[in-house]
Chains A and B, each alone.
Chain A
Amino acid sequence: MNKILEINNVEKSFEGFKLDKINFSLNKGYIMGFIGPNGAGKTTTIRLIMNLLKKNSGDIKIFGMDNVADEVTIKDRIGFVYEESYFYEHLTIKKMKEIISPFYSRWDDEKFDEYCDIFGLLPKKKIKDLSKGTKMKFSLAVALSHHAELLILDEPTSGLDPVFRDKLMDILREEIQDENKSILFSTHITSDLEKIADYITFINDGKIVFSDQKDILLENYKIVKGDTKILSAEIKNQLLGVKENKFGFEALCNVEKHSIFSQFDIVTEKPSLEQMMVYLSNKM
């Protein structure tokens, strides 16, 4: 069994928002970045995976099992970090840990202490006295301390400074060294994923725009810059989003379409994930 997570034709509607038959899967041993603008459906998808929301249709398989029918078995093997803190605020870190740890069959106190050390978490501190970043670190320590095979991280880096984000990326790299762990990582800070992610799934307005190997994606698109005079209606039609200013234009284009510029003087660059996200979101 190579697929650790499979999402097939999953639908969920709320008032004013619809997750539209989404599909993607994640293989064992790899890191997937889940990106998209705010409100695109990232958190909804993750809550559906975690069975915190009921889907309207479709199915979700984790470790080859149904995420609803086998919820308890599955969750024992998942390390989950949610955007917001879901701990009892009046408890200390140590007390909270004592409440959480019995739920996991493979809880590892030694590992937890190790992460508390790395993250600078003081066991006696009350959760309500922790900063947003420190609460996130506590969630991460919990998620990493029960030998989970799948880590699901929902915006884990949003409250964290660049120094800690960098440290977190190193920890995640270390986690996948044994080939058996996978990570699904949702974020809109795409620079965190630029290097570490093997796969990128991009969701916009409840639809999966693409889900593929990061390297392939980045090779399929180019950023072109040039004089706005070049932009005939015909050429504009072929581009995936254009930004114009007084002195020129910048646009995202498909590699196959790049030849339309062959007779023009333009600058071609590799896109960043952020540029791709911005251009492809504006397009719709």
Chain B
Amino acid sequence: MKIIIRNSSPDPIYKQISDQLRGLMITGELKAGDVLPSIRNLAKELRISVITTKRSYEDLEREGFLETVGGKGTFVAHQNKEFLKEQKLKVIETKLIEAVDEARMLGLKKKELKEMLDVLYE
């Protein structure tokens, strides 16, 4: 499990952690049922405050990615692959919407944008 904190990032540390953990779950590096380090242990290892790691875990719990079982620890939640895929699709969709908006502002035609996508896909 790799987590890297960038001091230069404009994102707050708690978000950097939850983004990276979410990424690891989506790519399957962290699988359903896997145990995560305790908030205190993660804070110690990353040399950050406990409240920061707590907030990352809480965000991921709210989104359904993590489950905390009292006295046992925090686990990757059993959610179906469809749900994860849905999440990923949502991310792609938002980015595409952004691209479409930008293209419209530039007065680019749909065909031209498609051509750009075709080139990028290769």
**Which of A's residues lie within 8 Å of B, judged by CB?**
29-31, 169-170, 173-174, 176-177, 179, 195-199, 213-215, 218-219, 270
Smallest Cβ distance from A29 to chain B, in angstroms?
7
Known A215-B12, A219-B12; contact A179-B40, beta-carbon cutoff 8 A: yes
Residues of chain B within 8 A of A270, CB atoms compared: 10, 12
**A197 and B49 contacting across the interface, CB-CB below 8 Å:** yes
Smallest Cβ distance from A208 to chain B, in angstroms?
19
Partner of B47 from the list A169, A213, A215 (CB cut-off 8 Å) is: A169
Partner of A173 from the list B10, B12, B47, B51 (CB cut-off 8 Å) is: B47
Chain B residues bordering chain A, tally (CB within 8 A)? 15
Could you jot down 19 A-B contacts, CB within 8 Å? Answer: A29-B50, A30-B50, A30-B51, A31-B49, A170-B47, A173-B47, A174-B44, A177-B40, A177-B41, A177-B44, A179-B40, A195-B49, A198-B51, A213-B51, A214-B51, A215-B13, A215-B55, A218-B12, A270-B12
Partner of B50 from the list A169, A170, A176 (CB cut-off 8 Å) is: A176
- Confirm or deny: B77 has a beta carbon within 8 angstroms of a beta carbon on chain A: no
CA distance A196 to B47 in the complex (A): 7
**A173 and B43 contacting across the interface, CB-CB below 8 Å:** yes
Partner of A215 from the list B10, B43, B51 (CB cut-off 8 Å) is: B51
- Most chain A CB within 10 A, of B13, B49, B51, B52, is at B49
Smallest Cβ distance from A30 to chain B, in angstroms?
6
Residues of chain A within 8 A of B44, CB atoms compared: 173-174, 177
Residues of chain A within 8 A of B13, CB atoms compared: 215
CA distance A169 to B13 in the complex (A): 18
Mask, B34-52, CB within 8 Å of A = 1, is 0000001101100111111
Partner of A196 from the list B10, B14, B49, B55 (CB cut-off 8 Å) is: B49
Smallest Cβ distance from A82 to chain B, in angstroms?
25
Smallest Cβ distance from A119 to chain B, in angstroms?
20
**B52 and A215 contacting across the interface, CB-CB below 8 Å:** yes
B window 1-53: CB within 8 A of A: 10, 12-14, 40-41, 43-44, 47-52
- Most chain B CB within 10 A, of A30, A174, A179, A195, is at A195
Given A31-B49, A176-B40, 8 more A-B residue pairs with CB atoms under 8 Å apart are A173-B43, A177-B41, A196-B49, A198-B51, A214-B49, A215-B12, A215-B55, A270-B10
Residues of chain A within 8 A of B14, CB atoms compared: 215
Known A177-B40, A219-B12, A270-B10; contact A198-B47, beta-carbon cutoff 8 A: no
- Which residue from chain B places its CB closest to the CB of A199 in the assembled complex? B51
Smallest Cβ distance from B51 to chain A, in angstroms?
4
CA distance A161 to B14 in the complex (A): 29
Residues of chain B within 8 A of A170, CB atoms compared: 47
CA distance A29 to B38 in the complex (A): 13
The 6 closest A-B pairs by CB, nearest first: A198-B51, A173-B44, A198-B49, A195-B48, A177-B40, A198-B50
